[in-house]
Chains A and B, each alone.
Chain A
Amino acid sequence: MTDQLTGAQILCRVLQELGVEYLFGYPGGAIMPFYHALPEYPSLRHILVRHEQAAAHAADGYGRATGRAGVCVATSGPGATNLVTGLATAHMDSAPVVAITGQVPRGMIGRDAFQETDIIGITLPITKHSCLVEDVSELADRLREAFAIATEGRPGPVLVDIPKDVQNQKGNWSERPAPEARSATRRVEIINDFASAAALIAAAQRPLLMVGHGVILADAYSEVNALAVKTGMPVITTLLGISAFPEAHELHLGMPGMHGEVHVNRAIQHADLIVGIGLRFDDRVTGNTSGFAPRARIVHLDLDPAEIGKNVPVAVGLVGDAKSLTSRLVDAVAARDCLAWRAEIERYRRDRNEAYRGDLSPESILRAIDDVTGGSATIVSDVGQHQMWVAKLYPYQQPNSHITSGGLGTMGFAVPAAMGVQLARPGTPVWAVSGDGGFQMNMQEIATMVQEKIPVKMAIFNNGYLGMVRQWQQFFHGRRYSATPIWSPDYVRLAEAYGIAGYRVETSRQTEEAIARANADPGPAVVEFMIEQEANVYPMIPPGGSLSEPIEAEPAPAG
């Protein structure tokens, strides 16, 4: 049966058909026909954000938490351009997002109409795919295609730009199963050489397993676990790979790279084999690639053939989904252990406690969040010093319980992304951890949380500085703290102004109670932690430096 519907109604029908639960958006002129139709489709719950950037981050958070595409909606012009940072964030971290933007009517395109921007042109390098819907007859298929492309293979953001008159145009609508979606990746026949990979693993004296976001995206936790256990290879998790392998597992070493622990980076520098699964050997992981893992041959498993050999030379590349590849590699490898090698790595270990100064240390705060939530929390972090502490010090046990902006490093990500995560995981605690800088970039979203009843808990690590930049200034710019001291409002009173609970924690004695009260609150809550002003993240590999040359913590202060 076919019905005559408007483009806006067809848009809503397709979103329903695809099982979309939430839309994060903001109305405006060129998207008004869609908003006019929306109330007819109550299964599509619209979350009115306070800034479109937050809509994109929330969709990203939802996408990372569920593996399904998060959806954001904006009007043409400034609405669409405000999505840009969020789309770039999702693109860098391979998160499935579909952005729907209104566009000026077809007849006005190219005339510099009011609120017209070439959003497709602007977002070309930061989207996996994009299209302008030129007629209502193609709308449903373009949307189905957009969702398929956003989630299949290596996920990414897709933008669908819909002129206002196409939203109003009447067209035929017929229910039908999703068609064979156009594939974004041409299937190239790849012969994966598992035997060679297995032989390298068998022959290695000092092998390491390094896992990234691809393991989380492919839900390959048990396969990676099986590979680690069967071979005894110590496991390193990259920033986006954190929570892909249980922190407390005896084979888990920690995070590598610029702020990786000394023993992790030293293990990399001494390794003779690195098996990398679902990671892209980003420069924050490798440091200067010419000095990266100088003795190691690399076996790289990745979904995206363009990643094999992109940043580091690869001895064996296996292309495919991390789950099936790892499972086949588990079958191909011989059981072994790495006891001598693990003992050697243990000798590289440093006591890190000295690095996290003060009574109210980041470590004690994070431990308290874990204790209070009984390990059930998802931690969404922002960007900066606290991000590294959250990455390194929180004891992640649940898969995919750590969400952060890794590749783009987007300050202001945590608070809005946590809204998407919270909606994806109702009834479970979601903590957005930010610094005082990043929090102020998107704190307007507290209003969204209040209006839409999204009970995100917001922790602010307040040191009065843009701490990571200040740390770089301390190390590399002669302690000239240019534009890094940052004033904050009174967050407790800010919370009060929004009608939510707010707590300030100044000593470690107050930590547990404040976290417990915030966590038990049925609504959103803010907890501000007045941490040591000039605490640094140690160790640190200077940008462009080799993993062998970390800056290590200063000695612990007397007393």
Chain B
Amino acid sequence: MAHVLSVLLDQDLLTLNRAMGVIRRRNLRVESLAVGPSGVPGAATLTLVVSADAGLADRLVRQLRKMSGTRRVAAFRSDEGVVRELALLRVHSPAGRHAEVAEVIALFGGSVVEEGEDELLVQVAGSNAFVLSFIRALEPFGIADLVRSGAVALERGGVAAFL
């Protein structure tokens, strides 16, 4: 079962570098990685989704906790939290198929951020599986470009850990 590690860190590249070193050294599979500002001034949130059992995830938490620059670490099974990512896509939308494309986007609750002549810039947010299905659904129209943010997560019903 994949585990989510959510780490509140001092917001500087050296601390991020050190944290990544701690993770890399353990040679585990990182499925997703996202870094961004947090709700705490001077701190950033690093979110990792790793293929690891509870024991391995717990060891990683303890290694990260003893690093200077780490403020808080939370770990939970991915089904115990809300895990979401954002995707941006440039998708072909030839003149005759506008309605069809629009229908798919609407079905997934995606939104059109920018409209070109025969291309749309689309965003969608959701779970990893949801975002993947959205991408699959748009593939037949031709995807010209695609970026995904990596997942961020909060534990369901967890105590406030990051504010």
Q: Which A residues form the contact surface with B (CB < 8 A)? A: 120-121, 124-125, 128-132, 149, 154, 182-186, 188, 304-306, 308-310
Contact = CB atoms under 8 A, between A and B. Distances in A.
B68 A129 contact: yes
Contacts, number: 39
B25 A125 contact: yes
A182 B66 contact: no
Contacts of B68: 128-129, 149, 182-184
A210 to B, nearest CB: 21
Contacts of B59: 306, 309-310
A306 B64 CA distance: 9
Given A186-B70, A186-B71, A120 B65 contact: no
Nearest to A130: B14
B14 A184 contact: no
Nearest to A307: B62
A184 B68 CA distance: 4
Interface in B50-93: 55, 59, 62-63, 65-68, 70-72
Nearest to B64: A306
A125 B71 contact: no
Contacts of A121: 17
Contact of B66 (A125, A132, A185, A308): A185
Is the interface on chain B under 10, 10 to 19, 20 to 34, or 35 or more residues?
10 to 19
Nearest to A124: B21
Contacts of A305: 62, 65-66
A129 B65 CA distance: 13
Contacts of B66: 154, 184-185, 304-306
A515 B88 CA distance: 76
A131 B66 CA distance: 16
Interface in B142-163: none
A131 B14 CA distance: 8
Nearest to A310: B59
13 contacts: A124-B18, A125-B21, A130-B14, A131-B14, A182-B68, A184-B66, A185-B66, A186-B70, A188-B65, A305-B62, A305-B66, A306-B63, A310-B59
Contacts of B67: 184
B17 A186 contact: no
B68 to A, nearest CB: 4
Query: 4 smallest A-B Cβ distances: which pairs?
Result: A306-B62, A184-B68, A129-B68, A124-B21
Contacts of A128: 68
Nearest to B62: A306
A504 B51 CA distance: 59
A141 to B, nearest CB: 14
Contacts of B65: 185-186, 188, 305-306
A473 to B, nearest CB: 30
Contacts of A120: 14
Contacts of A304: 66
A309 B18 CA distance: 23
A284 to B, nearest CB: 20
Contacts of A154: 66
A184 B14 CA distance: 15
Contacts of A132: 14
A121 B14 CA distance: 8
Contacts of B62: 305-306, 308
A154 B14 CA distance: 21
Nearest to B65: A186
Contacts of B21: 124-125
B57 to A, nearest CB: 13
Nearest to A120: B14
Contacts of B71: 186
A121 to B, nearest CB: 7
Nearest to A188: B65
Contacts of B17: 121, 124
A345 B151 CA distance: 56
Given A124-B21, A186-B65, A305-B66, 12 more contacts: A120-B14, A131-B14, A149-B68, A182-B68, A186-B71, A186-B72, A305-B65, A306-B62, A306-B63, A309-B55, A309-B59, A310-B59
Contacts of A310: 59
Interface in B6-60: 14, 17-18, 21, 25, 55, 59
A189 to B, nearest CB: 13
A132 B18 CA distance: 13
B163 to A, nearest CB: 17
B9 to A, nearest CB: 12
Nearest to A128: B68
A154 B55 CA distance: 23
Contacts of A130: 14
The residue among B17, B21, B68 with the most chain A CB atoms within 10 A of its own CB is: B68
A98 B49 CA distance: 35
